[in-house]
Amino acid sequence: RERGQVAVYLARHEDRLLAGAVMLFFGSKLVYLYGGTRGDARNLKPGYLLHWRAIEDAQRRGCTSYDMWGVPLDPQPGQRGYGYYVFKSRFNGRMLRFIGLYDLPVNRAATLTIRLAERFARAGQPEFV
């Protein structure tokens, strides 16, 4: 039985890190877990390169599907998340609707601490989306 494997993809240009993505190979599926692109590097489209390379690797491993996670239910220009929809739709896949993603906090204090830490972490990375 094959176990899932995590792969990290990085895009560089002239020794400068432009984008990164964390992917999970699980059975016959490739799953996009996390990623980001420098705001000042979007014109170079490094995200497309990372995803394309991951798709090629997935094909070599025998994967038959790629889960890029979510997009807004009713994507509209200017709406939060619309850019994700545009980016992901350019890969010409099928959009499947699922119930959604929810957290089940089991410890209120720990949950609040984690959320606060996440806000600080995001605030310290203004160049990444």
Residue ranges of domains in the chain, CATH in brackets: 5-98 (3.40.630.30)
Pairing label, strands 65-67, 5-13 = unpaired
- Tell me what pLDDT residue 87 has: 83
129 residues of the chain, pLDDT tens digit each: 456 699 999 999 999 999 999 999 999 999 999 999 999 999 999 999 999 999 999 999 999 999 888 777 788 898 888 888 888 888 888 877 777 767 788 898 988 998 888 887 766 554 443
- Tell me what pLDDT residue 61 has: 93
- The encoded tokens of residue 98 equal 């699922």
Q: Indicate the pTM of the whole model.
A: 0.70
Q: How many whole angstroms separate alpha carbon 89 and alpha carbon 68? A: 10
Could you give the strand order of the β-sheet that contains 65-67, starting from the edge strand earlier in sequence?
5-13, 16-26, 29-37, 65-67
- SS3 state of residue 12: strand
